[in-house]
Amino acid sequence: MSIEELARKNVRELTPYQSARRLGGKGDVWLNANEFPTAVPFDLTQNALNRYPECQPKAVIDNYAQYAGVKPEQVLVSRGADEGIELLIRAFCEPGQDAVLFCPPTYGMYSVSAETFGVEYRTVLARENWQLDLQGIADKLDGVKLLYVCSPNNPTGQIINPQDLRTLLEMTRGKALVIADEAYIEFCPQATLAGWLSEYPHLVILRTLSKAFALAGLRCGFTLANEEVIALLMKVIAPYPLSTPVADIAAQALSPQGVAAMRERVAQIVAERAYLVNALRDIACVEQVFDSETNYILVRMTASNAVFKSLWDQGIILRDQNKQPSLSGCLRITIGTREESQRVIDALRAEQV
C-alpha cells in the first residue's frame, strides 16, 4: 500500500485552501492577503524560552476581554482564527453524521476545515446583495451543528444585516451554533455581535490580530463565546497553542496604547480606501466598485483575467475572485499605502490606452 493510499480518502481528494502565500507571485506590491501594508515595532520582553507557555496566557486573555467588552471566561486564544474554525468542528461535529453550513461567496477555510475532518458541509448561496437567504438556510438546517457567517464578509466587504442575524439566531436556538466571523470588525466596530452573547448562548464570535492590529505574521486569533462553549473548546485545543513570544507581543498589542495605535491604523486605511475607490470609479476597465466596510475592496472589471495577469506581471499582486459564486469578473484589492494605491491606479489606467 502506497503512502497516498494510507491517507484518509477525504484528505487524498482535498483541495487545500489557496492562501496568498501559496499562490505565490514575485510582486513588490502585495494587495492580495488583506494585511496591513507596513510593519509595526514590538520588543520582546519575555526571553526565558526553556519553559512551556501558559495554555491561555492570562495577560492576553485579560487584555482581549477588556478590549472586546466581555468577561475573561468568554475568551479563548488560538493560532489564528483559523484554529478557532477547526476547534468548533472538532468539539461539536460527528464525522459522517453532522454538518456545517455557510453562504458563498465567503471565506474558503470553512469548507476546507469541514472536509479535513470528514464533516459534511452545506452551502446556501447568498442573495444578489450578498445578504443571507434565510429561507434557504431554514430548508437545509436539519442535521447542521455549525453555521459560519462572515460579517463583514470576505471577499465582498459588506456587513450582514443585523436583523437577519437575529432571525438566524432565533431559528437555531437549541439546534446549532452560529459563528460570526468578525476578522474585519475593527473597520466597523459598531457592527460587532459581542454584546449579544448574554442573549444568545449558542452565539460564537471569531476575531484575529491579523488585520487592523497589523500582526498577520503572529498567527493569533480569538474565540468569544459563553463559558460552556469555551469549556468544550478547551478540551480539544492543543496543550500550548501560543508560543511565549507570540503571547508577549499579543499582550502588548492589546494594551491601551496598542489599541489606540490600532485605531489610528484603521483611520489611515479608511482614508486610503476612499482615495482608491474614488480613483477607480473613473477608470474605463472598472465596471463597479462595491461598498466595503473592511481593509479591501471588491472590484468588477472588464477582461478581469487579463487585467489580473497584466498587474501580476508588473509586480502588483491582487486576489482573483472569478471562481467564487456570483463574482465573475471580480478582483479583490487590499488597501495598501498611498504609493501602492497609486501603482494600482496607474497600471489600470494604462490598461485602457
Q: Give the three cell numbers for residue 203.
A: 452565539
How far is residue 74's CA from residue 70's CA, in Å, rounded to a whole number? 6
State how far the alpha carbon of 69 is from the alpha carbons of 33, 94, 148, 189, 224, in Å.
28, 33, 22, 12, 10
Torsion angle (degrees, nearest 10) of CA 88, 94, 99, 100: 10
3-class secondary-structure state, position 154: coil
Q: Give the three cell numbers for residue 215.
A: 500582526
pLDDT tens track, the chain, 353 positions: 887 877 788 888 777 766 665 566 678 999 999 999 999 999 999 888 999 999 999 999 999 999 999 999 999 999 999 999 999 999 999 999 999 999 999 999 999 999 999 999 999 999 989 999 999 999 999 999 999 999 999 999 999 999 999 999 999 999 999 999 999 999 999 999 999 999 999 999 999 999 999 999 999 999 999 999 999 999 999 999 999 999 999 999 999 999 999 999 999 999 999 999 999 999 999 999 999 999 999 999 999 999 999 999 999 999 999 999 999 999 999 999 999 999 999 999 998 65
Contact between 232 and 91 (Cβ < 8 Å): yes
Long-range contacts from 13-18, C-beta under 8 angstroms, 24+ separation: 14/112, 14/115, 14/116, 15/112, 16/112, 17/108, 17/109, 17/112, 18/108
pTM (2 decimals)? 0.95
Closest CA to 296 of 344, 349, 237, 336: 336
Q: Give the three cell numbers for residue 17.
A: 485552501
Strand order across the beta sheet in which 120-123 lies:
75-78, 221-225, 203-208, 177-181, 144-150, 99-102, 120-123
Contact between 329 and 302 (Cβ < 8 Å): yes
First to last CA, the chain: 58
Contact between 173 and 202 (Cβ < 8 Å): yes
pLDDT at 17: 63
Contact between 253 and 44 (Cβ < 8 Å): no
CA 152 and chain centroid, separation: 9
